[in-house]
Amino acid sequence: MNIKSIAALIIAFALVFLGFSVVGNIDSTEYVVKQAFGTGNMTVQPDPGWYMKNFGKISEYDRTGTFYFSKEELDGGDAADVTALQSSFIGNSTADISGYLKYRLPTDPKLALQLHRDYKNETSVRLDLIRNAVATAIRMTGPMYTPENAFISSRSEFTKTVRDILEQGEFLTASEVVTRENISSSDSNSTKTEFITKFVLDSLGNRIITKPSVLKKYGIEIITLDIKDFDFDKQTDAFIEAKKKSMALRVASEAEAIASRQKAITEQANGEARIAAEKATAEVAKIREVTQAQKEKEVAELNAGKAKAQGDSMLAVGRAEAEASKLRVQAGLSPKERAEYDMRTKIGVAEQIAKIQFPSTMIIGGGNGNVNPMEAVGLRALYDLAERQGSK
């Protein structure tokens, strides 16, 4: 290779170096803090795309970051910057707490410059600022909870308290004495006196901030905070496990009791339904019988009414006929009716007399011989009887 070729390579490398030192490119997921060459002035390049470096010192920051604190290998394992964070709890229990925090760095250029001046680079921000803030919040939250509450019943509340401290700041606290179960004793009735920590509230019921949030100071926003696990000391783990079994048994007993009560309620409801059905059936039969009896009564009353009406009608007719006969008798027969009646009477008498067999020989005796032959045989009396009958 001759001198000209070597010189050409040197010039090419120099141009490439100068090119990267003069011009840069910003991705949409990051922003850049540039310290100008010579003057030292710092500016923020927030917009994605090409920008002029002009041989300045460039510091790149991801707009969002994730901080893990855990013993899990997937979360970093034994690395110094991701180990679990410790806290004590009520009863002098301790735990290594695992979780993660997703955060967003400031979008305000002034806050971004202030953050860079104080912490120099992104790694320092994550370890010296973010990690210490999370560790402090967890350390302040632990003494407010019993291990079983933090681990089982109040984990979401525990997480919220940690987040409140991160976002708002450290709160004024005070301790008070309480009596609770002694988990180190084999006697289930054994108790001990302990101190618990609580927030001090002002007259409006708000927490009193003693130290403003360092994250808020730099405009760092919390996107997600998750407390994944509590690794307590062995004694506390044994107590929590016993509590979990006791709680499971209690829940099972309560569920069984609820099921029994529900079964009793169902049986009672079914019994009441059967009784109601029987009553309804009896009521229907009763209504049917009453209806039938009412119907028969109404039919009987209707028939009785008809009979009475018929009897009254016949009685009226009879009375009318009797009255008419009476009136005819009182009024007397007409000459024609009288003549017809006399004629029928006489004809009848004559017919009766004709039927009488008179004796062929009559011996009439007496003193003076003046005896009427008709009277002698009683014919005169018979005729008078016929006359009287006809005159009625």
Q: What's the pLDDT tens digit per position in 139-181?
A: 999 999 988 888 888 899 999 999 999 999 999 999 888 776 6
**Calpha distance 140→163 (Å, rounded):** 11
C-alpha 372/C-alpha 359 separation (Å) is 16
Whether the Cβ atoms of residue 45 and residue 51 lie closer than 8 Å to each other: yes
Helix residue spans in 56-124 (DSSP H): 109-119, 122-124
Which pLDDT value is given to residue 324?
58
Phi and psi (nearest 5°) for 295? Answer: -65, -45
- Greatest CA separation for the chain: 227
**Phi, psi (5° rounding) for residue 323?**
-65, -40
Q: Residue 16's pLDDT is what?
A: 44
DSSP E strands in the chain: the ranges are 23-26, 30-35, 42-45, 49-52, 57-62, 64-69, 85-89, 93-104, 169-171, 173-181, 191-199, 209-212, 221-232
Nearest alpha carbon to residue 21 among 36, 6, 8: 36
Strand partners, 192: 180
pLDDT at 140: 94
The domain ranges of the chain are 1-61, 63-232, 234-332, 333-355+375-392
Contacts of 210 (CB under 8 A, 6+ apart): 169, 170, 171, 172
Question: What is the predicted pLDDT for the residue at 17?
Answer: 45
| Residue carrying the six token digits 């998750």 | 226
The string of pLDDT tens digits covering residues 95-108 is 999 999 999 999 89
- CA-based nearest residue to 141, from 123, 116, 168, 120: 168
* Sequence-ordered strand ranges (E) for 200-277: 209-212, 221-232
The CA–CA distances, whole Å, from 346 to 308, 338, 340, 392 equal 45, 12, 10, 13
What token pair was written down for 306? Answer: 């008809």
Q: Which of 106, 161, 93, 101 is nearest to 131 (CA)?
A: 101
Mean pLDDT by 10 residues, the chain (392 residues): 59 47 82 88 87 84 92 65 88 90 94 95 93 95 90 90 96 84 57 81 94 96 94 83 71 73 80 80 80 79 71 63 59 63 63 56 51 52 54 52
List pLDDT tens digits, range 302-335: 777 776 666 666 666 666 666 655 565 555 556 6
Q: What gap in Å lies between CA 240 and CA 229, rounded to an integer?
A: 13
Q: Span 63-232: which CATH code?
A: 3.30.479.30
Task: For the chain, give percent helix, strand, coil, nearest 5.
Answer: 55, 20, 20
C-alpha span between 223 and 112 (Å, rounded): 18
Question: What are the residue ranges of helices labelled H in 23-131?
Answer: 109-119, 122-124
Average pLDDT, the chain: 77
Distances (CA, A) of 26 to 33, 47, 79, 121, 238: 11, 7, 30, 17, 53
